[in-house]
Structure 1
Amino acid sequence: MATTELGAALRHWRDHVLPQAVGLSAGGRRRTAGLRREELSQLAGISADYIIRLEQGRATNPSRQIVEALACALRLTQDERDHFFRLAGLAPPRPGTVPQHITPGVHRMLDRLTGTPVAVFDAAWNQLLANPLYTALMGEWHGNDLNAVWRNFLNPHNRVRHTTESKGALQAAQVADLRRTAGLYPDDPHLHSLIAELRRRSTQFDNLWESAAVGEHEAGRKTIDHPQVGALTLDCDVLSVAGSDLRIMVYTAQPGTEGADRLALLSVIGTQLLTG
């Protein structure tokens, strides 16, 4: 079957990603050591049929979102990701836009923290990746709700317990952080669109934006009301990745506490909750 340079590169990268390196089982007979198309489809959230069409050269113009999703699933380096964009006829993300590339090192770190709820956000607080325990703890988000700022201003369904004061403090910190991000990445159209829509739909956000405060959002201790295991009081730390402005959110429990016991229970039943 005829292919293209894009298709050949995608097939090469897929063949060289070991299933166990991305948290999948390597069991069963395989023609190659790398990922099956169905496995890449699962990781990237893209149909296996479309991946076949890309590899065979029958699809040649994938969107930026598809290239980004495949690059993340394949754990490409920054140079490989930029090359992938060019093969797809797209310009790699510019310096003035919010970085969304998750380095192989960050992927490997998440692989090793299977017993800890961890998620990766970009500088605009878009959730890029979450491990299964984080999703079991906080719930699974889609669309605009993948943005933590959007969620805290416009979605009332949130498992984090707040008082009026703590909710206001969180929102103020998020707006100040988003204003800092807007100053660092002035050419990002998605960031401009997010801010404009939040200002239009939330009077509280608009008032805070007008205050012109600039800062960084730092998490602290939180109580999460989980529908199956009950309330968990956990420490929430936000770690920054040098050079990429990614934020890694990590939830941990103080040993010997009820929160630690309930988090351990959730780590056992979490997968069942997500698939049941």
Structure 2
Amino acid sequence: MGLSGHGRRRAQGLRREELAGLAGVSVDYLVRLEQGRSRRPSRPIVTALARALQLDEAENALLHQAAGLPVPSGRTVPVHIPPGVQRLLIRMTDYPVAVYAADWSLITWNPLWSAVCGDPAGSPAADRNVIRATFGAPPDWANTHGPAEEIDRALVADLRQAVTTYPQDEQLRALVAEVSAASPRFESLWRSGVAGRHLSSAKTIHHRLVGDLVLDCDVLTVTGSDLRITVYTAAAGSTTAERLEFLRVGAVHTVTP
């Protein structure tokens, strides 16, 4: 997502305020963790801290152990973003980019993605899931429209593959049960065993500031991590490209990548 400016840097590394901002926690809570006054951080907080610090797999395991949490294993949907992918995301500032887990839960995004799609930072983590947004009531930031039939089939097929890959993930099974009960369409697709896969597709985003954005959407996979990187691009010289640049400049003024 990015770092806000905090003046001249005298030493290498993240400042406490920067780490707190990247991890989505308060500075006060981070201080309490450092001082041992808060001894049981939740798994989402530890995961967010590991991501902000760009820890590798071994370092991430050590951080979980230090927090008294089980070390992440292959039994649950992984949400750890490898350092190389994190560095790639930091440099991809010209286009809206977001990273999802195998169950299509939103993990992280860049400033332009927030400027284009809306900022999900204020939404509960449970609401940042494309399956829920597609087959239930979408949150305020989910304002993307595309080929619904193709997308629905691909999402259900992806979720089925995730359940097959991570059969012991209780939250994943709960997600399937929840959406099945809420959406007859999802239940029908799920029971039918429908197959599908994500291809490049055109989507239209109705933006309240600049108008409609007609974007090409590509979903890239990360070998060995089961992550999905979603990238929106626009044809060079198009009206949408000009509108994207306008939003990008505004995002840069708000957040320093």
User: Normalising by structure 2, what TM-score?
Assistant: 0.90
How far did residue 28 of structure 1 move?
Answer: 2.8
Letter in 2 for 1:260: A
1:86 matched to 2:65? The reply is yes
1:208 to 189, 194, 211: 189
1:171 matched to 2:152? The reply is yes
Q: Distance in 2 between matches of 1:251 and 1:167?
A: 17
> Equivalences for 1:104-115 in 2 at 5 Å?
104-115=83-94
Q: Distance in 2 between matches of 1:270 and 1:44?
A: 19
2:223 alignment counterpart:
242
How far did residue 273 of structure 1 move?
Answer: 8.2
> Equivalences for 1:23-34 in 2 at 5 Å?
23=3, 25=5, 27-28=7-8, 30=10, 32-34=11-13
Q: Distance in 2 between matches of 1:167 and 1:104?
A: 34
Please say if residues 223 and 231 of structure 1, whose CA atoms lie closer than 8 Å, have aligned partners that are also in contact. yes
Q: Distance in 2 between matches of 1:87 and 1:148?
A: 32
| Change in CA separation of 1:214 and 1:182 when aligned onto 2, cut-off 3 Å | farther
> Equivalences for 1:186-197 in 2 at 5 Å?
186-197=167-178
Letter in 2 for 1:179: R
2:115 alignment counterpart:
136
2:133 alignment counterpart:
151
How far did residue 159 of structure 1 move?
Answer: 2.1
Q: Secondary structure at the match of 1:223?
A: strand
Please say if residues 75 and 103 of structure 1, whose CA atoms lie closer than 8 Å, have aligned partners that are also in contact. yes
Letter in 2 for 1:150: R
Q: Secondary structure at the match of 1:93?
A: coil
2:24 to 45, 58, 76: 45
Please say if residues 180 and 216 of structure 1, whose CA atoms lie closer than 8 Å, have aligned partners that are also in contact. no
Letter in 1 for 2:144: V
2:180 to 199, 218, 238: 199
1:16 alignment counterpart:
none
2:198 alignment counterpart:
217
Please say if residues 180 and 214 of structure 1, whose CA atoms lie closer than 8 Å, have aligned partners that are also in contact. no
1:253 matched to 2:237? The reply is no
Identity of aligned residues (%): 46
For this pair of structures, how many residues does the alignment match?
249
Q: Distance in 1 between matches of 2:180 and 2:109?
A: 27
Q: Distance in 1 between matches of 2:159 and 2:205?
A: 24
Cα deviations by residue, 1:67-113 (Å, 9 ceiling, x for unpaired):
11111111111110011111111111221211111011111111111
Q: Secondary structure at the match of 2:145?
A: coil
Q: Distance in 1 between matches of 2:118 and 2:131?
A: 16
User: Normalising by structure 1, what TM-score?
Assistant: 0.84
Which runs of 5 or more structure 2 residues have no equivalent in the other structure? none
Please say if residues 44 and 72 of structure 1, whose CA atoms lie closer than 8 Å, have aligned partners that are also in contact. yes
Q: Distance in 2 between matches of 1:184 and 1:28?
A: 47
Cα RMSD (Å) = 2.0
Letter in 2 for 1:172: R
2:207 to 226, 242, 246: 226
1:263 matched to 2:244? The reply is yes
Letter in 1 for 2:191: E
How far did residue 244 of structure 1 move?
Answer: 0.2
Please say if residues 235 and 241 of structure 2, whose CA atoms lie closer than 8 Å, have aligned partners that are also in contact. yes
Q: Distance in 1 between matches of 2:250 and 2:62?
A: 41
Which runs of 5 or more structure 1 residues have no equivalent in the other structure? 1-21
Q: Distance in 2 between matches of 1:146 and 1:159?
A: 13
Cα deviations by residue, 1:6-40 (Å, 9 ceiling, x for unpaired):
xxxxxxxxxxxxxxxx655473364x432222221
How far did residue 256 of structure 1 move?
Answer: 1.5
Please say if residues 221 and 229 of structure 2, whose CA atoms lie closer than 8 Å, have aligned partners that are also in contact. yes
Q: Out of 143-152 and 74-83, give the one that drifted further.
A: 143-152
